[in-house]
């Protein structure tokens, strides 16, 4: 599990250079929350709104500030 987290963290740091493991966990937890929320909506939101939702929810619980480029994967 440690090798996986280090691999994910190294990829994550390409867009968020000062991030740590807590930031990575917060991102993936927020990503899961967004996916579950989208299942409850009757229709998918516009792409711009969807990007803002991803950016906001995946930044909750972060220790280090979020970089300007947020890419849900």
Domain coverage including residue 22: 2-58
Residue 16: exposure state from Cβ atoms within 10 A (0-12, 13-18, ≥19): buried
CA-closest candidate to residue 22, choices 5, 3, 4, 7? 5
Domain annotation covers residue 47: yes
pLDDT of 71 > 80? The answer is no
Q: For the chain, what is the domain count? A: 1
pLDDT in tens, 11-69: 888 888 888 888 898 889 999 999 999 999 999 999 999 999 888 888 888 888 765 55
Is residue 50, in this structure, part of any structural domain at all?
A: yes
pTM for the full model? 0.72
pLDDT score recorded for residue 56: 87
What is the pLDDT, as a whole number, of residue 67?
59
Residue 64 within any structural domain of the chain: no
């Amino acid at each position: 599990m440690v090798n996986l987290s280090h691999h994910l963290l190294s990829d994550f740091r390409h867009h968020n250079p000062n991030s740590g493991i807590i930031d990575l966990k917060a991102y993936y937890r927020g990503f899961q929350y967004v996916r579950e929320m989208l299942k409850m909506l009757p229709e998918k939101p516009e792409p711009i709104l969807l990007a803002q939702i991803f950016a906001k929810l995946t930044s909750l619980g972060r220790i280090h500030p979020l970089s300007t480029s947020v890419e849900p994967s």
